[in-house]
Homo-oligomer: A and B are copies of this chain.
Amino acid sequence: MKRAVVLLSGGLDSTTTLAICRADGFESYALSFRYGQRHECELVAARKIAKSLGAKEHRIARIDLRVFAGSALTAELEVPKKRSATEMASSIPVTYVPARNTIFLSYALAWTEVLGATDIFIGANAVDYSGYPDCRPEFIRAFGQLANLATRAGVEGARFAIHAPLLTLSKAAIIQRGFSLGVDYALTHSCYDPTSDGLSCGACDSCQLRLKGFREAGLTDPIVYAP
Interface residues of A (CB under 8 A from B): 59-65, 67-70, 92, 96-103, 106-107, 109-111, 113-114, 133-134, 136, 138-139, 142-143, 145-147, 149-152, 154-155
- Which residue on chain B has the smallest CB distance to residue A132? B152
Q: Is the CB of B106 within 8 A of A102?
A: yes
Q: Which 6 A-B pairs have the closest CB atoms?
A: A99-B110, A98-B113, A98-B110, A103-B106, A70-B114, A139-B149
Partner among B68, B69, B133 whose Cβ is within 8 Å of the Cβ of A151: B133
Given the contacts A67-B59, A68-B114, A106-B103, A149 and B145 also touching, CB distance less than 8 Å: no
Q: Is the CB of B145 within 8 A of A142?
A: yes
Copies of this chain, how many?
Answer: 2
Given the contacts A106-B106, A133-B154, A146-B146, A99 and B113 also touching, CB distance less than 8 Å: yes
Q: Is the CB of B102 within 8 A of A152?
A: no
What are 15 of the A-B contact pairs (CB < 8 Å)? Answer: A60-B67, A62-B62, A68-B107, A70-B114, A98-B113, A98-B151, A98-B152, A99-B113, A101-B150, A103-B106, A134-B151, A138-B149, A139-B149, A139-B150, A145-B145
